[in-house]
Structure 1
Amino acid sequence: MKSSNLGTPADPSKKSGSRAWAVMAMLLVFMLINYADKAVLGLAANPIMRDLGLSHSEYGLLASSFFFLFNISAIAFGFMANRFPAKWLLFGMALVWGLTQLPVVAGAGFAGLLISRIVLGAAEGPAQPVAMHAAFKWFPNEKRSIPGALISGGGGLGGVLAAPLLTLVIINFGWRWAFLSLFLVGVLWCGVWAFVGREGTADRVSAPISAEPGAAAAFRVPYRRILLSGTWLAGFVGGFGAYWTSTLLLAWVPSYLETSLGYSAVAAGTIVTAPWVLKTVATFGQGALTQWMMHRGVSSRVSRGILGGCAVFLAGSAMLLVPLVSHPGVKIALITVAFSIGAVKFAIGQTINAEITPPAQRGAVMSLTVGLVTLAGLAAPYVTGRIVEAAGDPTTGFAIAFAIPGTLMLIGGLLAFAFVRPERDAARIAAHGRRIDQPKAAATPT
């Protein structure tokens, strides 16, 4: 027998855990860059409108153009994520993000900036669901709340860091230099990810309810069973309202702070970080709280569904109150809550979607969800621009525009309280599933 003094092999679980968190760190930075790319247009809204001679509605069209192909791309890449390694899908997306900044740096006018934003949107559409899918390959369901919060919270962290830094670049060097900085950061991420990125193996030992252990990769259900469940539909409404709000934060809130509330560009760039800070804290806090609650035996309905509903309802209430108060401090506090807390729904919603969906279909369902929810992003900037322009007075126009997402989030919160039931719907959905290597008759329970 060989002596035990020769040493023991490294614990594979520890090695896998280290790799999982290295991948998670890269995915967090990936989402940080993703949101910085989105935010730069809103931070440079006034100088862009001034330099290119754009009206509010024309700038609104430019902001909305980001979402022209966003939804279609998100859905298409979601089905690709079921078949191709997430590592290289993410690499390709980030590379395109960087390259789309170059025409702007080279002096593109309205048409060039429009095309650049359309292509950027197409490349960013699948970012969050594919990143979530990649992360969930490393963690089982009961440990996905924190990774899901990190992926979703990467956007908030991106806003916290990007808003003041990009504002300084815009003020001191010009708005085109902000796009150049994003090109450099994106290319650098691609270089590191090529060496760090890997595919996880957690799905190989998990399967949906009613499936045989180890059969996760071959287990499928009709997509309509997932998309017509009360859990998915209620989550969609709340997510739609929250995404409308997040798009306004990116596209219009900096301009609103300057034109309606009278703040300088520097002050507006500083104030707009407050929603990003609270969004980041709330998203990360939700992940830790949800995982702790589930560890203590609290149901997913409460720890995910009710918690997410409360967040969206609170954000909607604050949004509707913003135009009604006049005290500057109270107004900024309400803006901070209105444009931040609802984003908790993105992390919770996708974690719930993963809970009720077989792993083999997870990438597609999460991307379908993003593709449909982000239709709000296609409408919000342009609709807001038209409302502000038609109102004549920006203050009145923004008050009307803010009522739309406020109402949507209130409704979404109420629906979450009543209909988000992940455990029940997961069991119902799985009951209609089957192994793809089995005949259809075998899928019917006896």
Structure 2
Amino acid sequence: MSTLSTSPKTATTRDAAAARALPTRRRWFMLTLLLVATVINYVDRVNISIAAPFLSRDLGLDKVQMGLIFSAFAWTYAFALVPAGFIADRFGSRLVYGASLITWSAATVGQGMVSGFASLFGLRLAVGALEAPAFPANSRAVTVWFPARERGMASSIYVCGQYLGTALFTGGLLWLATHYSWRHVFYVTGSAGILFGLVWLWLYRDPSECKKVSPEELAYIEEGGALVKSAGERTRFDWRQLAELLSYRQVWAICLGKFASTSALYFFLTWFPTYLMEERQMSTIKVGIFAVLPFVGATVGILLAGAISDLLIRRGCSLSFARKLPLVVGSALGMSIVLVNFTDSNLLCIAILTCAFFAQGIASASWAAVSEVAPKELIGVTGGFTSLAANIGGIVTPTVIGFIVQSTGTFAYAFWFIGAVALMGTLSYSFLLGRLHRIELRPR
């Protein structure tokens, strides 16, 4: 008697058919909420860069002071991420994300009322600390709602919110700053966040607590590798578990890679409009148009990375290869940012920066890798720790660029700095990361 085996392609076809036949698709609704929350999250990070050329003149701030203000968010954000990850594991994505949204948005409104460096710097520190639970809660929500075969695309969809918001709203926020005042940029974005925080608390639920998810969909996501758990299942934190987590090279490789890609991201979130206005001498209207293009490129990059990664898994490639390929390719292509130093053409400059940010979007697929390696006991903590490493780039990059521009009068060396960091990320993902697999902690 012969033994029949199921090919990966046949299994994939069967899984796809099962997904289409499900009576509910509640996981995609929850992902939509994550996407909107991430858009607001990043609009409230980038609004300072849009207001910067106006508020720096109004408040009399120099380049070094603006560099410190740009980096202030990341100071508190980075170091609050690990405790924020534990809080997300302990109390669940619904409560933690809702509270985070409302409080950081209130601090955003407060930025419109500042009178000088100290008050603006302090409120940027507050926004950073209060936004810290967002991405650990995102990572946790995707891990509990999505099977492994869909997790790459799901992670890419919510991560693209960090580019989509800027692409959609830069023109409108520049219009507000120009026709009213830079203060209205903060009033409008902060108010929108408070309102959505209330919507999040009303609509989001974990799968085991969601009354609108069918038993079939719940079984589908759990059998596919989703770590379905309730917010009521409290995670007990043990420092020995954290020490064990940090003994794995996969964690450190992702940390170095995320630091590299986030360094490029923070240039675009902070100094980019100033670079276009002051070094490239573009008008406000041109900045409103051209500044959008790199963010569109990054959005395409992250969605393409997620789609290709999941496609490779469905075609029978190993999960490790499918998740690592976008990270290596994106990091390597990100080094192209240095080419902007060799052109005087504004159109070619924007084309190069769009390509570089497209690459950064591809490399941002690292969130899917985090979801694959995080031990089930420490999903949020793993997301928090890798985000901490990433956002050290948010501290370093805006500050370094501020000192470079202040001392040299040009952004040229800033692009060499970002290119060198991209090379470090490429080497980390290529040689240090190794095989991706879910970390199994020793029982306590």
Q: TM-score normalised by the shorter chain: which range applies? A: 0.7 to 0.9
Q: Which residue of 2 aligns with 1:351?
A: 368
Q: Which residue of 1 aligns with 2:51?
A: 44
Aligned with residue 42 of structure 2, among 12, 20, 35: 35
Q: Which residue of 2 aligns with 1:334?
A: 352
Aligned with residue 301 of structure 1, among 312, 320, 336: 320
Tell me, yes or no, if the aligned pair for 2:44 and 2:190 is still in contact at 8 Å. no
Query: How do residues 66-85 of structure 1 correspond to structure 2 at under 5 angstroms?
Result: 66-85=73-92
* 1:399 paired to 2:415: no
SS in 1 for 2:75: coil
Aligned with residue 96 of structure 1, among 103, 117, 133: 103
Q: Which residue of 2 aligns with 1:265?
A: 284
Q: Which residue of 2 aligns with 1:198?
A: 205
What is the TM-score normalised by the length of structure 1?
Answer: 0.85
Matching residue's letter, 1:233:
W
Aligned with residue 160 of structure 1, among 167, 190, 193: 167
TM-superposed deviation, 1:257: 0.6
Tell me, yes or no, if the aligned pair for 1:125 and 1:371 is still in contact at 8 Å. no
CA distance in 1 between partners of 2:73 and 2:83 (Å)? 17
Identity of aligned residues (%): 26
Bigger drift between 120-129 and 243-252 goes to: 120-129
SS in 2 for 1:50: helix
SS in 2 for 1:66: helix
CA distance in 2 between partners of 1:330 and 1:179 (Å)? 32
CA distance in 2 between partners of 1:92 and 1:60 (Å)? 29
SS in 2 for 1:144: helix
**Residue ranges of structure 1 left out of the alignment (5+ in a row):** 1-10, 209-214, 437-446
CA distance in 1 between partners of 2:22 and 2:236 (Å)? 28
What does the per-residue CA deviation read over 1:216-247, in whole Å, with 9 as the maximum and x for residues that have no partner? x8999944454343333222222111111111
Q: Which residue of 2 aligns with 1:184?
A: 191
TM-superposed deviation, 1:103: 2.3
SS in 2 for 1:262: coil
CA distance in 2 between partners of 1:408 and 1:102 (Å)? 34
SS in 2 for 1:297: coil
* 1:21 paired to 2:28: yes
CA distance in 2 between partners of 1:298 and 1:417 (Å)? 17
Aligned with residue 397 of structure 2, among 380, 404, 409: 380
Q: Structure 1 pair 78/206, CA: closer, same or farther in 2 (3 Å)?
A: farther
Q: Which residue of 1 aligns with 2:68?
A: 61
TM-superposed deviation, 1:205: 5.8
* 1:277 paired to 2:296: yes
Q: Which residue of 2 aligns with 1:232?
A: 251
Q: Structure 1 pair 218/139, CA: closer, same or farther in 2 (3 Å)?
A: farther
* 1:115 paired to 2:122: yes
What is the TM-score normalised by the length of structure 2?
Answer: 0.86
CA distance in 1 between partners of 2:430 and 2:390 (Å)? 19
**Residue ranges of structure 2 left out of the alignment (5+ in a row):** 1-18, 209-217, 227-232
